Amino acid sequence: MPDMDLLLLSRWLTPVRDFLVPRVGAGARIGFIPTASSIYPDQAWLDLDRGSLRDQGFEVVDVDPELVSAATFTRALGEIDAVFVSGGNVFHLLGALRHAGADRALVDAVRRGLPYIGVSAGACVTGPDIAPLALLDDPAEAAPLTSTTGLELIDVTVVPHAEGTVGGRGRIDRTRQEFADHRLHFLRDDEALVISGGTTTVIAG
């Protein structure tokens, strides 16, 4: 836990440069995992995110566990300076990572010190359980899941777009009520979580 560095975002990528440059330097090579969005025909936000990262001075390369073998994915994690896990459907993301045999490789790399940047679904999947996201993402759209246990990199489940920008405020309020027995962190689009050295800090997003 003390060696991990995670930046968890709801929407905007503004904090990425200040998070990443002190850790891996300017011009770092970011492995971009687009998996959460692969079930959607419109993936315009992925191009926006790639463009934002490049505008911040980073090299961006896709690392897609749905398109390569587990061994190739694992090797790719060793050839990047940081990993970026995009938004989309968190249930599909988790199911696809497991189906590809990529979940453990990703967790192991992050626990060994590979900086992790997750936005929306990419933030949600890091927690102990993605079940509380069922009111925001449709589990029926996902790759088959036998368990909603997340990657367990952190001990809370991030609920993004906490001001209701995706799906409306009613879904956020229902999530708060129906999953009160879970440890939830409601993250607004203008916020980010930094987990580093065993400490969690909320910063402007």
From residue 8, give the alpha-carbon distance in Å to each of 28, 119, 147, 200: 18, 6, 22, 10
Task: Indicate the CATH number for domain 5-204.
Answer: 3.40.50.880
Total H helices, total E strands in the chain:
7, 9
Please state, in angstroms and rounded to a whole number, the distance separating the CA atoms of residues 181 and 178: 8
* Helix, coil or strand: residue 110: helix
Hey, what amino acid is at 13? L
Mean pLDDT of the chain: 94
The pTM (predicted TM-score) of the whole model is 0.95
Q: Domain segments of the chain: what residues?
A: 5-204
Q: What is the DSSP string of 7-29?
A: EEESS--TTHHHHHHHHH-TT-E
**pLDDT digits 0-9 by tens, 150-178:** 999 999 999 999 998 888 899 999 999 99
Catalytic machinery residues:
120, 161
